[in-house]
Amino acid sequence: MVTAGFLLVAFTGPLVRLATAPESVLIVIRMVSAALIFTPLLLRAGSVGRLVQPRIFPLILLFGALSAGGMLLFFIALRGTSVAIAMFLFFTSPVYVAVLAPRTLGEPTSKCAYGALGIALAGMATIVLPGLLSETLTVTAWGLIAAILAGLMLGFYTLLLRRLTRSVGSIALTWVELTLDAAFVLPLAVVQLALGAGLPTGRDWAIALALGVGVTALAYFLLIEGAGRIPVQHWAILSYLSPVAGPLYALFILGERPSAWTLLGGALIVAAGVMVAVFDTRRRAAGLVPSAVAPGLSPPAGADPGKHNGGDDRS
């Protein structure tokens, strides 16, 4: 489930490359179109009241701010430093998750998770190494700061997502993230258009809507639903699959051939993903499952929450 979600997310980069509108405008179109799909499901589930509860609402706002803020800071980092540095610092987020999860969520980080994390980081370093060694490397202080903050925000987003899955259903959380992402990015999109950025063309609209309806909506739901089903550290490690799959999709969509470094690093990251998947499979076979979480649609009264989490929920 989580693997499929991150593989879907990887389509975003190559498809956005085909568009000409500003990234902020494309994000708003994507998020709004995806949120519209979940609106009737949210109303049917009757989850609106839970979202505005005093105990939940501040966390919901923080959740949206972390999601949108991390995304915007990553785009800023791409302009202030190299793609290699921005990607590497952005994807240090699983390190923060591994260190902080035992303290903030009470979920210990297993030796398997630490081992897989080390392999995944080595894979990411291998992918970005050619860019780091480039003679044309451009680095600014604000670009580095933006990249570091983006990685931190992604790490805290992951921890907060895991916490929210214990009390809020997946459909509601998916709708919240999509809606708040659009709301937080909208001011930037308006400013860019006001400063003379080109309006989205018909092709831009088609790409953004296809991403929103066909990729973003399903990917976000799978990732949020899966966040409550596997250890949060493993969820974070599987996020490395997106930068691995992106270049492979670009080969077929844009005709860009991945380098040998990318293939080697990708193999290491896939190996890390296999490690956590095998660990999770053995964990379930031993009857060890995550704590009960709220399902996407509330179960019937009297249903056993453990049954919801004990089904086929492979990574």
The answer to whether residue 314 scores a pLDDT higher than 60 is no
The answer to whether residue 105 scores a pLDDT higher than 50 is yes
Burial class (CB in 10 A: 0-12, 13-18, 19+), 58: exposed
The answer to whether residue 311 scores a pLDDT higher than 60 is no
The pLDDT, as a whole number, for residue 290 is 52
* For residues 270-291, average pLDDT: 73
Confidence tier at 156 by pLDDT (50, 70, 90): very high
Distance CA 96, CA 156 (A): 8
Residue length of the chain: 315
Lowest mean pLDDT among 28-32, 43-47, 91-95, 136-140: 136-140
201 vs 290, higher pLDDT: 201
Tens digit of each residue's pLDDT (9 = 90 or more) over 13-71: 888 888 888 888 999 999 999 999 999 988 887 778 778 888 899 999 999 999 999 98
| 121-153: burial string, b at 16+ Cβ within 10 Å, e else | bbbbbbbbbebeeeeeeeeeeebbbbbebbbbb
The pLDDT, as a whole number, for residue 309 is 42
Parse the chain into domains and list their residue ranges: 2-281
The answer to whether residue 254 scores a pLDDT higher than 50 is yes
Question: Within 10 Å of residue 2's Cβ, how many Cβ atoms?
Answer: 28
Specify the pTM: 0.82
Confidence tier at 209 by pLDDT (50, 70, 90): very high
* For residues 197-210, average pLDDT: 92
